[in-house]
Structure 1
Amino acid sequence: MTAGIRVGVIDKHPLFRDGVVLALRTQEDIEVVGQGASIWDAIDLAEKSQPHVIVVDAGTLDCSMGAVESILQQHPSIRILILADEASEDHIRAALKRGVRGYLLKGSSAGELAETVRALSQGQCFISPSLAAKLLMRTGPEATSEATGSGHLSHLTPREQQILSILAQGRSNKEIGSKLELSEKTIKHHLTNILQKLHVRNRVEAALVASNHLSQKRLAS
């Protein structure tokens, strides 16, 4: 049976790269279509193998997002997932701005890696909860100015505001649906509308908007 999700793996450390490849190959719905040790390998892999997702080691990028942006410009359907030992807020924000859809810590389990790959292949975004928490805790003027659309939550329907407030707590679509007694499909539909209305590209940026809005309300009260 042909696997549904085509994945490429890029890491300059052969031992770790082999571990990621092995973890993904144990999944029936995931096919590793290529691997490499440099960002140039990633560019070549994107061109020749057309994967749905490319898993890239943050160290291999050497903190440069130019190559990632180039891949996404040439192949907008590809999703980039970065694996990192740790990451600064600035690096995560820079990655999101360049179009990266996932950011996962290397301490995550094989199951978490596979689930993240699946989420990205379905058009979702995912950031390790501990990294997302760092972003949500940063609610100063700089973060507010970066989050386009903050202050415009009044454009959202009451249901959309309710979903956004739960999203800002780091909840998944399934958890939001369970809390509100709505289907996961309905939550996805609402989130699509929320992203469009707030002029943001992913759920993390939307959560930042919500967090900034709450901070401003507290300061005003």
Structure 2
Amino acid sequence: MNMIRVAVVDDHPLYREGVVHVLNRHDDIGVVAQGECAEDAVRIAQEVQPHVMVLDMNMPGSGLSAVTAINSAHPGVRVLFLSVVIDEDQVCQAINSGARGYLLKGAGGEELARTVRAIYSGETYVAPSLAGHLLAHLGRKTAQPLNKETTLSPRQEQILQLIGQGLSNKEVATKLQLTERTVKYYMTNLLQKLQVRNRTEAALLANRRAAAGT
């Protein structure tokens, strides 16, 4: 089993220790570094190069500036933001800056572990409680035209619809009785065919296609 190497950066020691404890309870996840500010995050990315870095959005030095620097210099380090703030603009900024996920601090330990695994696997994850608002907000900010000439197979339509509902690859695989590898294959083809960069944009497009009846 490959160990997912995780760094946790948060300026509240008690909360950070709780996150570390929760993640270390899982056999496939190990916390390899900790920090408390944006400068620590950038240094850890350079020196330790964890698979996933869990960042506080509002830590000293700005989580957004940290993820921008990390994504530029160390794109292999995948960033997951934890925040107490439910703000569509902030979530959009986080994703556009290169973050792979955005989770609220009220999430449970199992959801946090699942999200770390999803991001490690190459997925983009936004807390389901934020997904609907975010998709509507992205739709207002990025009015990507619908290409009516883009045709999808029935299976691709099924998968796109489920992605639009916020399901992960694993959940899609279970629902459609497919392997997770098969779903990843379909997702790769979908992103290319729809000309979108990630599953968040695919989910947005899925909802817009449904609203337009295409």
TM-score scaled to structure 1, two decimals?
Answer: 0.87
Alignment of 1:40-189 (within 5 A): 40-60=39-59, 65-138=64-137, 140-145=139-144, 150-151=146-147, 154-189=150-185
Amino acid at match of 2:197: R
Structure 2 residue 33 is matched with structure 1 residue 34: yes
Helix, strand or coil: the match of 1:83? strand
Inter-partner Cα distance in structure 1 for 2:72 and 2:46: 12
Inter-partner Cα distance in structure 1 for 2:39 and 2:62: 15
Change (3 A) 1:140 1:24: closer
Identity across the alignment (%): 44
Helix, strand or coil: the match of 2:80? strand
Inter-partner Cα distance in structure 2 for 1:190 and 1:3: 24
Aligned to 2:14: 15
My pick for the range that moved more, 38-47 or 19-28, is 19-28
Inter-partner Cα distance in structure 2 for 1:3 and 1:12: 29
- The Cα offsets for residues 103-159 of structure 1, whole Å up to 9 and x where unpaired, read as 1111111111111111111111211100112123447543424xxx64357243332
Inter-partner Cα distance in structure 2 for 1:83 and 1:176: 25
Aligned to 2:209: 213
Inter-partner Cα distance in structure 2 for 1:74 and 1:209: 30
Q: Which runs of 5+ in 2 are unaligned?
A: none
| Aligned-pair CA distance for 1:6 | 0.8
RMSD over aligned CA atoms reads 2.3
Inter-partner Cα distance in structure 1 for 2:140 and 2:84: 28
Is the Cα contact below 8 Å between 1:160 and 1:194 reproduced in 2? yes
Change (3 A) 1:4 1:137: same
Amino acid at match of 1:95: A
Structure 2 residue 198 is matched with structure 1 residue 202: yes
Inter-partner Cα distance in structure 1 for 2:13 and 2:209: 45
Amino acid at match of 2:174: S
> How many pairs align?
214
Inter-partner Cα distance in structure 2 for 1:198 and 1:152: 11
Is the Cα contact below 8 Å between 2:68 and 2:97 reproduced in 1? yes
Change (3 A) 1:15 1:157: same
Change (3 A) 1:141 1:36: closer
Change (3 A) 1:64 1:20: closer
Change (3 A) 1:48 1:159: same
Helix, strand or coil: the match of 2:141? helix
Inter-partner Cα distance in structure 1 for 2:149 and 2:112: 33
Inter-partner Cα distance in structure 2 for 1:57 and 1:160: 36
Inter-partner Cα distance in structure 1 for 2:139 and 2:132: 14
Aligned to 2:186: 190
Inter-partner Cα distance in structure 2 for 1:106 and 1:39: 18
Inter-partner Cα distance in structure 2 for 1:84 and 1:132: 15
My pick for the range that moved more, 31-40 or 163-172, is 163-172
Inter-partner Cα distance in structure 2 for 1:49 and 1:213: 42
Inter-partner Cα distance in structure 1 for 2:140 and 2:212: 10
Inter-partner Cα distance in structure 1 for 2:60 and 2:192: 30
